[in-house]
Amino acid sequence: MSEKERTTLFIDFEFTMPDRSSRRRGFYPEIIEAGAVLVENSKVVEEFSSYVRPMRFPILTERCRSFLNISQEQVNSGITFKALVDKLKSMAGSKNCQIVTWGNMDMKVLQQNCQQASVAFPLPGKQIDLSMEYKRFFGDQNQTGLWKAVQEYGREGTGKHHRALDDALTTYHIYKLVEKDKQYLQKPEPATIGDMVDFSKLLNKFA
């Protein structure tokens, strides 16, 4: 499948967080907001955004509400986790659809949530952690945060940080920029006459 024909789903989730003081027994992060952007032939063909009701720990902690700026009412009005899985499956149910996230937490949490809910993992395609691609490509020692990466590219992010759909769209923008830069590096511009001058001989003249 050529690059042009590839279908890619960009995903971002927000999850529940425990309060620092009270460690809830058996706590694990659950998806409470999902954003997804489906891209075919380099065009956005579908966007999806929804709050999701957590199953195991339905009441959000104060830390979670304030950090993500998500209210209990918003989450209560969300879709079920099963409905989220069905939606992801309908958007990217084939092995030819690659999945791109920023960091590896989104897929880890989705897999864990699927296990807890006894439902099949809905995304069979190749998974790409764009933050690791970015790190390898730019030789960064540390993994870069999503919005810091956008700013390093001289762009502002799309919408609000920690809004799932905005983060998914921002991930897509960075993906396009990285792919463009990769192509540029693979196909260097033809050398100009200036480049062809033997600079070692020129420097010897001044040595």
Active site residues: 14, 162
In sequence order, what are the beta bridge partners of 79?
Answer: 52
Cα radius of gyration rounded to whole Å, the chain: 21
Pairing relationship of beta strands 97-101 and 7-15 according to DSSP bridges: parallel
What are the C-alpha distances in Å from 150 to residues 108, 131, 169? 24, 11, 11
- Strands of the sheet with 97-101, listed across from one edge: 43-51, 31-40, 7-15, 97-101, 127-129
